[in-house]
Amino acid sequence: MDSAANGVRLAAFRPGPPPAPAEPGPPGFLGRHGDGGGYDTLDAPPHHDFYARTAAAGRRRRARPSLFQLHGRVQQDPSRPPLYEETTSGPDGGDSSQEDEDQPEEPSSQPARFGWIQGVMIRCMLNIWGVILYLRLPWITAQAGIGLTWVIVLVSSCITGVTGLSTAAIATNGKVKSGGTYFLISRSLGPELGGSIGLIFAFANAVAVAMHTVGFAETVRDLMAEHGAVMVDPVNDIRIVGIVTVTALLGISMAGMAWESKAQVLFFLVILVSFANYIVGTFIPASAEKQSRGFFSYRADIFAENFVPGWRGPDGNFFAMFSIFFPSATGILAGANISGDLKDPAVAIPRGTLMAILLTTLSYLVISATIGACVVRDASGLLNDTLSGPACSGLACRYGWDFSRCTGNLTCSHGLSNYYQAMSMVSGFAPLITAGIFGATLSSALACLVSAPKVFQCLCQDRLYPLIGFFGKGYGKNQEPIRGYLLTYVIAAAFILIAELNTIAPIISNFFLCSYCLINFSCFHASVTNSPGWRPSFRFYSKWLSLLAALVCAVIMFLLNWWAALIAFGIVLLLLGYTLYRRPGVNWGSSVQASSYSLALSQCEGLNRVQDHVKNYRPQCLVLSGPPGTRPALVDLVGLLTKRLSLMLCGDVVCVSPGPGPGGDRHTAWLNGRGVRAFYRGVLAPDLRSGANILLQGAGLGRMKPNILLMGFKSDWSRASAPAAQSYVQILHDAFDLQYGVCVLRMKDGLDVSHMSPSHVNPGFDESPETNGPAHTHIQTSSTASFPPEPQIQTQFQRKQRRQSVHVYWLGDDGGLTLLLPYLLTRRRRWSRCCVRVFVGGERDRLEEALALIQRFRLGFRDVEVLPDVFQDPQPHSVRRFEDLVSCFRLDSNPKQDSQAQAWNRQPGEPWMITDQDYEKNRAKSLRQIRLNEVLQDRSGDAALILITMPVGRRGACPGALYLSWLDVLSRDLRPPVLMVRGNQENVLTFYCQ
């Protein structure tokens, strides 16, 4: 159909930029979001601010209208502004979102931000090209041979490469802030594992500062020795130079990231020059001096001999070499560790990290192959060790050199196996290699010195662990962790005192492997949970490859050093246990949360395939508590029965005018703060009974649905309005009709504590502040109202009970629920000292029968007593008291009736009122309840809790007023709490094994 032909302009309904109202609109004006045509609505077009957590500088963030604002009543006060209003910084109030996004106005002083080359790739390459490259790679090549050295390099690169892919996936699944590796793991796996690995990774980086500094100090010591300069002795010289060096690096770090980044670029250029110098040196013909040290330029036979392993010493094996080399591959996270200082972490981290891994892997392979093809394993370094006779042995004999004397007793001082400065000897100009060593060691130490405090600062600011918040304070525009720098300095200085590179390197290998293991597992876990929130923009990763890398890291940890691996995992588990116990109040949308939901959903679905069995019966309770904080005793009692056992659901019926529904977050927080394991469910309904019926029929999921209804006794029923009291009775009837077990709790001082806190007083609640009914009937009109924290009032069910008795009056067989509940209660620590006394009705000869039956249930109840006096007539004064209670509800001519009762009399068909026929028909049952109250007062005045079989009023035959009078007189004037219990007449106990 042609819209234009019918006079309808669809363009008038197209959302557009909303003009800011210049003056208050007429009554009912809500704000116009359209470009004409009379389309008045609060709907706003999609905008970046609706999803962003912060706004561009200089402009207030816009807010999306709430559903209540869209759907609620039109405002009647013309002086109030529209509920939704665009807020901009422009003078005309126009839409400046496009300008803000294209040309964001930034503050005048901004911290330094880096791109992917300077911020990530160069930083990672410098950290990978560390001390191991120059000082240990030739020695590892001599030990493992070129072939196994390539295996070591490739295995390390595969681990770091897959970890880089996992890091890229995690880093592109949302905006990455400062904190680096810790931030990535904690926001993916949650604070439990994230916090533990954050501490370990920060410590490993601090130790890595010591490793690279010791490598630098070792080179300085060797240079000093070549010129005959010694300060104290070889070991102490390393310590002195190391402490002085790390102090200087600390000064550069504390000067700020800009200075540190400039120093890194300088170091990078020096290393590139040293590499070029080394490659050129391998092609220069060897001089006699270099030949005496084992260098003969490229030779096929030297390459062939060095291609196979030549293990020496107690640590001469593959895994020992791997443990020494692997720290050199751990620099892949140097860029991610300063994620807060990057312009675009989601782009810079994947691109820079993967490029750095590729280029450094090629450099390691090339250097190990070239030096293995040019230098023999052993050489004396003496110019007079030229070939002198037929007794010469070794590959050098082919080139006119005899190193047999030192190779025989393993005293050679040069060659790949003995001389750590082999790259300097091979190069065209040795001082450039020394400069490269300085650049590589100092740049790596500087990167680790910056990374460790950044990671630790983020961890401290999250306050997952006590006593470390002191180090989370930042200084300056870039929030530099000065205190973290000082702590890292102290740790590094302590490990520098070891002064042995081969000892320090294996220490940090396990910590880095543990970090990589968890990074890969984070990526796998986030992928396998299929959470809609897992949407990384980096697609080139595999969850199964990440899982394989995680397993490989764990295995290699134990192959390198099993006791160090146990220590690392022990620290992780210890910190994990502490975090799980402390339960920090953070919510990062981790994959653990997603997996919890998936697991719970899977288990709930699995229950549908399992048939119910009486042995697996669990009391799943729907508690009509209203807001849980208003009836804490009821919540505490049910929490004792269901904790770690079954489902507990607190139901709240909210009778509201059109407006927002019940605020469940506040009530759930109250339950969590009280330590009650329960769910909160609020429903909107026109009246109490309708809401309770909704909960009775709709609460739960699959087989995880309530089977017991618990309520507070309505102690003001005789003073309340007839509809309110009748609604209470009808809820009980509805529960029985739906095959629920029913429990009603009555306490001497009442259950409702809302009158103790003004924040809970609501004029729409009930007639009396002492009401103990099942749920609030309050009216809410605003979703944005702020509520004060609800008080945590202690109840007797939270206190540890003395050696008292729980009295159980099992007067009617309801399936065993009356016996099961006290059994569950006394299994709790607070009630474990209480013994259970069971009372049954009948003559004395029933004692053995009742005791045998209870013992077959294996409940541990030994104290059973028969009550023959329950069948006696009650005292006359008790009967008169009951008759006075119900007199105003009887449909007879009674001049004592008040005006309200007379109003009810005018409705003879009202089921609430009691006719003479109803009264006489139920007289025996009424007398029984009166007598039971006398028995309870005689025998159970000192009990901790009374449980008694609740009478059932037949629908249509027992008026509501009469039934409530039974419950009232049965539980009246008793000091202990009284729980009236009635099962649904289906067995919940069995003495059979199947």
Q: What is the pLDDT of residue 859?
A: 87
Q: What is the pLDDT of residue 312?
A: 85
Residue type, 296: F
**What is the span of the domain harbouring residue 841?**
805-891+911-982
Quote the CA–CA distance of 166 and 413 in Å, as a whole number.
Answer: 44
Binning the chain into helix, strand and coil, the percentages to the nearest 5 are 55, 5, 40
Residues whose CB falls within 8 Å of the CB of residue 761, separated by 6 or more in sequence, listed in order: 754, 755, 769
Q: Where does a domain end: 497, 512, 527? A: 512
Hey, is 946 helix, strand or coil?
strand
Residue 107 has pLDDT above 60, yes or no: no
Quote the CA–CA distance of 257 and 881 in Å, as a whole number.
Answer: 86
Q: Give the tens place of pLDDT for each residue, 396-432.
A: 888 888 888 788 777 888 888 888 888 888 888 888 8
Hey, is 866 helix, strand or coil?
strand
Q: What is the pLDDT of residue 82?
A: 45
Quote the CA–CA distance of 843 and 862 in Å, as a whole number.
Answer: 19
C-alpha distances in angstroms, 718 versus 216, 771, 962? 90, 11, 11
Q: Are 686 and 815 part of one and the same domain?
A: no
Rg (CA), the chain: 40
298 lies in a domain?
yes
C-alpha distances in angstroms, 985 versus 446, 738, 815? 75, 12, 5
Per the listing, tokens 């009530």 go with: 667
User: Which of the 8 DSSP states describes residue 413?
Assistant: -
- Percent of the chain at pLDDT exceeding 70: 79
Report CA torsion sign: 630, 634, 636, 638.
negative
> Of 915, 654, 867, which is closest to residue 778 (Cα–Cα)?
654
Residue 101 has pLDDT above 80, yes or no: no
Q: Are 815 and 947 part of one and the same domain?
A: yes
591 lies in a domain?
no
863 lies in a domain?
yes
C-alpha distances in angstroms, 964 versus 245, 367, 749? 86, 92, 19
Hey, is 453 helix, strand or coil?
helix
Residue 754 has pLDDT above 80, yes or no: no
Residue type, 356: A
Q: 697-722 burial, b for 16+ CB within 10 Å, e for fewer?
A: eebbeebbebbbbbbbbbbbbeebeb
Residue 847 has pLDDT above 80, yes or no: yes
Q: Is 652 left (phi over 0), alpha (psi -120 to 50) or beta?
A: beta
- Percent of the chain at pLDDT exceeding 90: 18
> Of 474, 586, 551, 554, which is closest to residue 195 (Cα–Cα)?
586
> Of 960, 982, 987, 967, which is closest to residue 926 (Cα–Cα)?
967
The beta-strand segments (E) located in 105-234 are: none
Q: Are 706 and 853 part of one and the same domain?
A: no
Q: Are 439 and 270 in contact (CB under 8 A)?
A: yes
Q: What is the pLDDT of residue 67?
A: 56
CATH number at residue 353: 1.20.1740.10
333 lies in a domain?
yes
79 lies in a domain?
no
Quote the CA–CA distance of 73 and 30 in Å, as a whole number.
Answer: 10
Q: What is the pLDDT of residue 662?
A: 61
Quote the CA–CA distance of 292 and 305 in Å, as a whole number.
Answer: 18
Q: For residues 149-153, give the mean pLDDT.
A: 93
Q: Give the tens place of pLDDT for each residue, 182-201.
A: 777 777 777 777 787 788 88
Q: What is the DSSP string of 541-555?
A: --HHHHHHHHHHHHH
Residue 476 has pLDDT above 80, yes or no: no
H or E segment and range at residue 838:
strand 835-841
Residue 732 phi/psi, 5-degree rounding, is -65, -45
Residue 750 has pLDDT above 60, yes or no: yes
Q: At what angle do helices 345-372 and 300-307 cross, to 10 degrees?
A: 110
Q: For residues 237-253, give the mean pLDDT.
A: 89
Residue 400 phi/psi, 5-degree rounding, is 90, 20
Q: Give the tens place of pLDDT for each residue, 966-993.
A: 999 999 999 999 999 998 888 888 887 6
Q: Which two tokens stand for residue 726?
A: 């009748």
Per the listing, tokens 């709490």 go with: 977
Q: What is the pLDDT of residue 116?
A: 82
Q: Are 704 and 832 part of one and the same domain?
A: no
Provide the whole-model pTM: 0.66
- Count of all residues that appear for the chain in the document: 994
Q: Are 728 and 829 part of one and the same domain?
A: no
Q: What is the DSSP string of 571-599?
A: HHHHHHHHHHHH--S-----HHHHHHHHH
Higher-confidence residue: 444 or 96?
Answer: 444
H or E segment and range at residue 100:
helix 97-102
Q: Are 205 and 354 part of one and the same domain?
A: yes
Q: What is the pLDDT of residue 179?
A: 66
Q: Give the tens place of pLDDT for each residue, 41-71.
A: 566 767 667 656 666 666 677 776 765 666 5
Residue 15 has pLDDT above 60, yes or no: no
Q: Are 740 and 830 part of one and the same domain?
A: no
CB atoms near residue 695 (< 10 Å): 25
Residue type, 166: S
Q: Sheet containing 621-624: which strands, arranged edge to edge? A: 679-684, 648-654, 621-624, 708-712, 741-746, 978-982, 945-949, 805-809, 835-841, 863-867
Give bridge partners of residue 622 from the DSSP assignment: 649, 709
Q: Which two tokens stand for residue 401?
A: 């050199």
Give bridge partners of residue 890 from the DSSP assignment: 914
Q: Which two tokens stand for residue 26?
A: 């007429």
Quote the CA–CA distance of 872 and 894 in Å, as a whole number.
Answer: 30
Q: What is the pLDDT of residue 763?
A: 34
Q: What is the pLDDT of residue 54?
A: 67
Q: By mean pLDDT, which of 571-585, 655-669, 801-815 is the weakest? A: 655-669
Q: What is the pLDDT of residue 702?
A: 81
Hey, is 48 helix, strand or coil?
helix
663 lies in a domain?
yes
| Bridging pattern class, strands 805-809 and 679-684 | unpaired
Q: Are 370 and 491 part of one and the same domain?
A: yes
The band of 610, judged by pLDDT with boundaries at 50, 70 and 90, is: confident
Q: What is the pLDDT of residue 6?
A: 41
Q: Is 778 left (phi over 0), alpha (psi -120 to 50) or beta?
A: beta
Q: Give the tens place of pLDDT for each residue, 930-973.
A: 999 999 999 998 899 999 999 988 887 888 889 999 999 999 99
Quote the CA–CA distance of 415 and 411 in Å, as a whole number.
Answer: 11
Per the listing, tokens 């090549």 go with: 141
Q: Are 739 and 812 part of one and the same domain?
A: no
Q: Give the tens place of pLDDT for each residue, 479-511.
A: 778 888 899 999 999 999 888 877 887 777 788
Q: Give the tens place of pLDDT for each residue, 761-815.
A: 333 334 333 344 444 444 333 333 334 455 678 888 888 888 889 999 998 888 8
Q: Are 724 and 829 part of one and the same domain?
A: no
> Of 679, 715, 678, 681, which is closest to residue 695 (Cα–Cα)?
681
Higher-confidence residue: 816 or 394?
Answer: 816
Q: Give the tens place of pLDDT for each residue, 690-746.
A: 999 999 998 888 888 899 999 999 988 888 888 888 899 999 999 998 989 999 999
Q: What is the pLDDT of residue 837?
A: 92
Q: Are 840 and 696 part of one and the same domain?
A: no
Q: Give the tens place of pLDDT for each residue, 530-574.
A: 777 777 878 888 889 999 999 998 988 888 778 888 888 888 888
**How many separate helices (H) and strands (E) can be counted in the chain?**
33, 10
**Residue 299 CA from chain centroid, whole number:** 59
517 lies in a domain?
no
Q: Most distant CA pair in the chain: distance in Å?
A: 142
Quote the CA–CA distance of 869 and 938 in Å, as a whole number.
Answer: 11
Q: What is the DSSP string of 786-814?
A: --PPPP----GGGSPP-S-EEEEE--S-S
Q: What is the pLDDT of residue 78?
A: 46
Long-range contacts of 645-648 (CB under 8 A, 24+ apart): 645/618, 645/619, 645/824, 646/618, 646/619, 646/620, 646/621, 647/618, 647/620, 647/621, 647/679, 647/700, 647/704, 647/705, 647/706, 648/620, 648/621, 648/623, 648/676, 648/677, 648/678, 648/679
Give bridge partners of residue 949 from the DSSP assignment: 981
Q: Are 606 and 678 in contact (CB under 8 A)?
A: no
Residue 465 phi/psi, 5-degree rounding, is -125, 150
Q: Where does a domain end: 753, 786, 816? A: 753
Quote the CA–CA distance of 478 and 113 in Å, as a whole number.
Answer: 10
Taking the chain, what is the end-to-end CA distance rounded to the nearest angstrom? 70
The number of domains in the chain is: 3
Q: Are 145 and 278 part of one and the same domain?
A: yes
Residue 234 has pLDDT above 50, yes or no: yes
H or E segment and range at residue 654:
strand 648-654
Q: Are 699 and 622 in contact (CB under 8 A)?
A: yes
H or E segment and range at residue 263:
helix 257-283
Quote the CA–CA distance of 555 and 517 in Å, as a whole number.
Answer: 10
Share the mean pLDDT of the chain.
78
520 lies in a domain?
no
Residues whose CB falls within 8 Å of the CB of residue 968, separated by 6 or more in sequence, listed in order: 713, 715, 717, 718, 885
Quote the CA–CA distance of 814 and 268 in Å, as a whole number.
Answer: 83
Q: Which two tokens stand for residue 913?
A: 């009122």
CATH number at residue 651: 3.40.50
Residue type, 27: P
Q: Where does a domain end: 685, 719, 753? A: 753
